[in-house]
Structure 1
Amino acid sequence: MISRIAETGHAVGTAVGYRNLSKKGQRTVKAGLLLSPVLLWLVLYKYLALGYNVYLSFSEMSYTGEFSFVGLANWQQLANDPVFFQSLFNTVVLFATIPVSIAIALGIAILLNQQFPGNNAFRSLFFLPYITMMVAIAVIWQYMFKTDGGVINYFLLQLGVIESNISWFGDSTWALVAIFAIQVWKTVGFYIVILLAGLQTIPEQVYQVAKIDGATRLQRFLYLTLPLLKSTIGVCMLVGIVISFRLFDLILVLTNGGPGNGTEILLTWIYKQAFLHGNFGYAAALSVVMIALAVVVALIGRNLQRSSHL
């Protein structure tokens, strides 16, 4: 009986304390209660998982879940692993598809921002590759890049660009070029949609005043369009990091990291170390490097947004 009275008194005291808060304080309490499930999810499945991954990078775990602390052994293995450096290089190279795709998308978006017949049809056409399954894209391009009878080699031969067929997936350099081109082709349409939305927020009066002042088309692009699109380009950079993770499917289907680990990226090497070789601790160390690299690219995109004049 006494405990029930105490609980009731505590509840009443809490309610009275809430009512005594200012409107701003009450809104803060409500916002905290509404956000608490999301914050709990972030703590459990993001930050604790990240901390667990860092801890695992200094340990080794068997398939049965048994842990053993190994200190810096996994990091020493990473420093002596030539495939790690190859996969890190390939990851950085393929991260470069983000600015390349954005640059191509910006040029197309400026053209599509004009009014002409079939404008909406062209927008849908460019966006179609992005919503197509990556595995289906990989299979189609695998046939197109075939050494003998492939469409790519056929057209290059007809144009006189090459004198003999290129073994696209028989050479690590050409395989990386092919993966780079496919990723750019797939993602350009998505960036076009975002950049078009950004272009349409720029007032037309800005360009009209610049024309009156005698600014050329190139000057309007360099000193008006680009600065006013910095925030939008920053969003594209951030989203591009997430899109880059889809390269995992593409590489596994096209090359499986070959030839000779020449097209491995950090994601595929992490997967193979963890689930094919059972090196969970070493895979965790590779994951830490992958996360650090993604954070660097994310910071670049964030700085672009903050430096925007919008």
Structure 2
Amino acid sequence: MQNHAWMCPFSEVGMNTREIRTKKQKIFVYILVLIPFIAFVSVMIGPLANSVYYSLTKWKGVGSPKFIGFANYIKLFKTADFWLVVGNTLYLTLVCTLGQVGIALVICFLMTIRRLRFKTFHRAVIFFPVVMAPVVVGYVWRFIYNGDNGLLNAFLRATGQSRLMKNWLGDPSIVLRSVSVPVIWQYIGLYMVIMLSAVAAIPEEIFESAELDGCTGFKKSIYITLPMIWDSFKICIILCASGTMKIYDHLVALTNGGPGRSSESMAMYCYEYTFRYGNFGMGAAIAVAILVFAFAIAGTLQFVMTRRKIYE
């Protein structure tokens, strides 16, 4: 019988994979670690470094960039439009995070009710919008919001609630709330699935013991389910908040940032400077600003949402 131990340094009989004894095994481990590290650097760190460099230059996309230091950032922070789109983005981040993760958490609690039937069907229906392209969702809801013959105003008119009819995407005072609804609707299912996976990992004996002690319904959800899935809940909050910071597709399909800049996001502002004005240096500066805001939000949430707080 052929000996194939040479094919893998860890194939020796009685070898504990946590122990590295020979030089060949050390080299093999370093290679295994180096491959994903190189992939990460080439896909993430390299482009990020390029963006930071270009944000310090004046560049039109062709020719050689001219280094100008922090001039792009100084100009950016003095621009009123920039702070307007920052406010829009932060508002959407807050509303979408509360809506998506909050509704998903409520649905997750409902799914733990034993008497609820057709749970698989409910999960499939709620998750379905997640697989749709954001642009498609945007155009569907644009038809729903249409002020002349949209489904929403038609429904209000048919039910005798004409006084509630509005120009949903043309009124600057309500447009941000209007565009947040499709975003919330699309991604509820994603965070529902994450939290349901965490619920499925909770031993059934814990729920049975709680029910024997009289902890049912709302109390079971708050005092048993939520603490047990707190880590997953925290991940959902951070993913949702940081992900909404780069919202783009929905807004382009719904309003294209209008009316004016009342629904424009930082990602749209970045695209506008980069490709409409041809100012790649300023576009890179805006992209770096998006990254900084996303990191700041994620770091703040990570600091605030500690496991210790949910148990105390």
The one-letter code of the counterpart of 1:123 is: R
Contact 1:233/1:304 (CA < 8 Å) preserved in 2?
Answer: no
Q: Say which SS state the counterpart of residue 127 (structure 1) adopts.
A: helix
Q: Say which SS state the counterpart of residue 259 (structure 1) adopts.
A: coil
Contact 1:101/1:191 (CA < 8 Å) preserved in 2?
Answer: yes
1:227 aligns with 2:192: no
Distance 1:279 1:246, change over 3 A: closer
Whole-angstrom distance in 1 between the partners of 2:119 and 2:220: 23
TM-score (structure 1 length as normaliser)? 0.83
Distance 1:69 1:175, change over 3 A: same
Contact 1:90/1:264 (CA < 8 Å) preserved in 2?
Answer: yes
Q: Say which SS state the counterpart of residue 205 (structure 2) adopts.
A: helix
The one-letter code of the counterpart of 2:249 is: D
Identity, % of aligned positions: 26
Whole-angstrom distance in 1 between the partners of 2:59 and 2:228: 50
The CA deviation at 1:267 is 0.6
The answer for the alignment partner of 2:254 in structure 1 is: 254
Structure 1 unmatched ranges of 5 or more:
1-14, 16-21
Q: Which residue among 80, 93, 96 is the counterpart of 1:95?
A: 93
The CA deviation at 1:300 is 4.9
The one-letter code of the counterpart of 1:270 is: C
TM-score (structure 2 length as normaliser)? 0.83
Q: Say which SS state the counterpart of residue 247 (structure 1) adopts.
A: coil
The answer for the alignment partner of 2:20 in structure 1 is: 24
Contact 2:61/2:279 (CA < 8 Å) preserved in 1?
Answer: no
Whole-angstrom distance in 2 between the partners of 1:223 and 1:50: 42
The CA deviation at 1:66 is 1.8
The answer for the alignment partner of 2:48 in structure 1 is: 50
The CA deviation at 1:25 is 5.6
Whole-angstrom distance in 2 between the partners of 1:189 and 1:78: 37
Whole-angstrom distance in 1 between the partners of 2:238 and 2:28: 30
Question: Which deviations, in whole Å up to 9, do the C-alpha atoms of 1:40-75 show, x marking residues without a partner?
Answer: 122233223222222222211123232112223211
Question: Which deviations, in whole Å up to 9, do the C-alpha atoms of 1:182-214 show, x marking residues without a partner?
Answer: 111000111111111111222232233334444
Whole-angstrom distance in 2 between the partners of 1:159 and 1:230: 42
Structure 2 unmatched ranges of 5 or more:
1-8, 10-17
The answer for the alignment partner of 1:12 in structure 2 is: none
Q: Say which SS state the counterpart of residue 74 (structure 1) adopts.
A: helix
Whole-angstrom distance in 2 between the partners of 1:161 and 1:103: 29
Aligned residues: 290
Whole-angstrom distance in 1 between the partners of 2:306 and 2:155: 44
Q: Any residues of structure 2 matched to 1:1-310 within 5 Å, and which?
A: 23-24=19-20, 29-96=27-94, 97-115=96-114, 116-157=116-157, 163=163, 165-215=165-215, 217-241=217-241, 243-244=243-244, 247-300=247-300, 302=302, 307=307
Question: Which deviations, in whole Å up to 9, do the C-alpha atoms of 1:278-308 show, x marking residues without a partner?
Answer: 1111112111110012113333565588627
Distance 1:164 1:113, change over 3 A: closer
Whole-angstrom distance in 2 between the partners of 1:34 and 1:170: 55
Contact 1:134/1:246 (CA < 8 Å) preserved in 2?
Answer: no
Q: Say which SS state the counterpart of residue 23 (structure 1) adopts.
A: coil
Cα-Cα RMSD: 2.7
Contact 2:100/2:187 (CA < 8 Å) preserved in 1?
Answer: yes
Contact 2:242/2:294 (CA < 8 Å) preserved in 1?
Answer: no
The CA deviation at 1:240 is 2.3
The one-letter code of the counterpart of 2:187 is: T
Q: Say which SS state the counterpart of residue 24 (structure 1) adopts.
A: coil
Q: Say which SS state the counterpart of residue 20 (structure 2) adopts.
A: helix
Question: Which deviations, in whole Å up to 9, do the C-alpha atoms of 1:164-191 show, x marking residues without a partner?
Answer: 5311121223221111111110001111
